[in-house]
Amino acid sequence: MNQQSPLARAATMDEARRVTLLNAVERKLLWISAWMIHHANHVRSNRDGLKVGGHQASCASVISILTALYFDILKPADRVAIKPHAGPVFHAMNLLLGRQSAERLSTLRQFGGIQPYPSRMKDGGEVDFSTGSVGLGVALTSFGSLVQDYVRLKKLAPEGLPAGRHVAIVGDAELDEGNIYEALLEGWKHDIRNVWWVVDYNRQSLDSVVQDRLFGRIEGLFRDMGWNVVTLKYGRKLQAAFARPGGEALRRWIDDCPNSLYAALTFQGGAAWRSALLAELGREEGLRAIIDPLTDDELAALMNNLGGHDIETLMEAFRAQDAAGDQPTCFIAYTVKGMGLPFAGHKDNHAGLMTKEQMEEFRSAMRIRPGHEWDEFEGLDISAEEMRAFIQSVPFAEKLTPAGRSLTSPKIPIPAVLPVPRVPAGRKLSTQAAFGEILAGIGRGEGEFAPMAACIVTTSPDVTVSTNLGPWVNRRGIFDRHLKNDVFRDAKLASAQRWGMSPEGQHVELGIAEQNLFLVLAALGLSDRLYGARLLPIGTVYDPFVNRGLDALIYGCYMDARFLLVSTPSGITLAAEGGQHQSVNTPLIGMAQDRLAAYEPAFADELAILMRHAFAHMQEPEGSSVWLRLSTRGLTQPERQLDPAQVIAGGYWMVPPAPGARIAIAYQGALAPEAMAAFETLRAEEPGAGLLAVTSPDRLHQGWLESRKRARGGPGAAPSWIETLLAPLAPGAGIVTLLDGHPAALDWMGGVRGQRIAALGVDRFGQGGDIPALYAEYGLDEAAILDACAELLLAPGN
């Protein structure tokens, strides 16, 4: 007998029965999500005695929305950013879908268990985008749509894989986040398609009730950005009441009711609603005929029958927009925070938890027997068999691939050696310029570089040319969903840049908002797992403005997105620009950020090794994103053969020290000339001194930490690379460290073997000037280095 597909079974089901079954799903999601949070706080033993927390009210407000989406409209290829405080509802849905276990639900907010907010890395492949209350997951849906278009227009996606819609369920308070509006504007520029944002408009934030008539501002902003806006304010019961005599007056009263009053009446219940309505509208003809026949509970249910809680209203709106086309759409769904719970509408309910007594009353109302709290279909009037068959029939229950919704893609082959720029005698080269030349060489797409070049995609927030991406863009073009000619080129006007745009281009040009850069990189860096097409994303940005987008950078790393970040120019070495364009703390950020390997090469040969490593490391299961901090300062390039493994490990001896040496200089990045000059003077007095090139304090420090962990596990652990590097120095030797950044980035080296450190660096904002003046002012010139060496050598006991 032929088995019907889930889509076919769904199409043949009676609509009224479907609504009944969806109402049952709502009921179960309300119970399971509330019980998960209650169990974590009041049933499970928590050793520290602290409140575990959770958001029962925030879960309750969005349950109908999620039910209508996941159990009626969404398809397996759709990618969703869940409202973070609704994480328990998400996990409850996966329990019903057979993709989560009751045992796992009981571990909410427990070590090794389900996370407070949905997390790709810690909660598994059913999470498309990690979310966490700051609007980043919302904005990422727009850029995910852009990346999906990119891989599909280039025919990189697996054959037969359907395109998906990108959906964000948004808490209305999240719309205060500025990155959402930066993303909206960027999305308008790129003509994004197939994006839905569903606003859970419960009109309550963490601390209070939101401003009245905020919906008007929200609607206007979205329409200005080319979005369709669908407002879902009233459910079927209220709409029926409005159609009766006196109903129009009731509608006007609700429309004009302040948010705070509406919330208070919701919390107080039917008697309060009746009193308020009679006081305001008691003389309106027909009103009493609407409300008098209703009990207090029925009146409360009528007044809270908002669009975001009415399954039929939601289904109708979602289906209509699904059929209407791919225009981005914002649904403003009116809801009640805490709907169905004892504290519904109370302004303090955001972090509120039901008491044990309230939970027992709730259990009774839900008909849940003790010991059956986690049963999927407990307490329903519908058989488990029918519920299970219905859930298996919904479109989202279909498998996207045999392995599920998390996709894979083969690795991109990376040539063993990247093209190192040839530097004529007497010419100097900066790492920023070398980066541009190496990438341009790859961009030729010749021979073994062809597969790699086809998969590189670059992006930059309005600094494409000034970060040396220009030659790459000239060769590979700018990506746009539509063909746009380069007007200057067509008019035969001289220009170094060819800015023609087309679907064939491989550079995504952004506005100046750095948050958008890191969100685009996050989406590009997840392309293999979301869209089945592996890319090699590269993003360039001015080093000081990494801070401007740091929240989104951390977010991308938290999701294990894989990309190459190139930040340049860096430090005070961009001397004439002044403090606003100079960076101090970025080496420390690189050391502290998880799932991001940070490097700062000084020379082009180091850079070529590290770029090759980055392209390979980004693709390894245990790899990560990579950050290259570069400079505009031109340096004379040495002729030599480097050991790539040492450069990648974080450092190498440019001049090895003699055994038992008393002093060494360790430099990082653009300060190589000052370090070398000081070293030549130093070794006239100390012939055994060493000169250490540090390419990554991050990798050296991380390796040291891992070695210490292994050592605590027992004897015989291999030493870290930094321990091996420093081993030739005398136990009490001095090391002068210097970098164009905060000195703490290298200061820790003194703790490796107990050697003394004089750490030179920049610990305050810079000012305009030339390099000699600034290096002298901040103690980074040759004289300052030699003074630090003398201080260490002349110290008592040395």
Q: What is the pLDDT of residue 485?
A: 73
Do residues 458 and 539 lie in contact, with contact meaning Cβ atoms separated by under 8 Å?
yes
List the beta bridge partners of residue 461. 510
Q: How far apart are CA 143 and CA 518, in angstroms?
A: 10
Cα angle: 261, vertex 267, 269; to 5 degrees = 100
Q: What's the predicted TM-score (pTM) here?
A: 0.94
Q: What is the pLDDT of residue 626?
A: 98
Q: How far apart are CA 600 and CA 589, in angstroms?
A: 13
Do residues 737 and 758 lie in contact, with contact meaning Cβ atoms separated by under 8 Å?
yes
Burial class for 796, CB neighbours closer than 10 Å (0-12, 13-18, 19+): exposed
Q: What is the pLDDT of residue 213?
A: 65
Beta pairing class for 564-567 and 536-541: parallel
Q: What is the pLDDT of residue 133?
A: 65
Q: What is the pLDDT of residue 134?
A: 79
Q: What is the pLDDT of residue 7?
A: 47
Residues (pLDDT < 70) of the chain are: 1-13, 133, 204-215, 487-497, 797-798
The token pair at 234 is 């009233």
Q: What is the pLDDT of residue 13?
A: 67
Residue 81: closest CA among 142, 163, 161: 142
Q: What is the pLDDT of residue 194?
A: 96
- Write the DSSP assignment of 167-216 as a string of letters: EEEEEGGGGG-HHHHHHHHHHHHTT--SEEEEEEE--B-SSSBPPTTHHH
DSSP E strand stretches across 656-700: 661-668, 690-694
Q: How far apart are CA 493 and CA 402, in angstroms?
A: 54
**Type of residue numbered 624:** S
Exposure class string for 200-211: b at 16+ Cβ within 10 A, else e = bbbbbbeeebbe
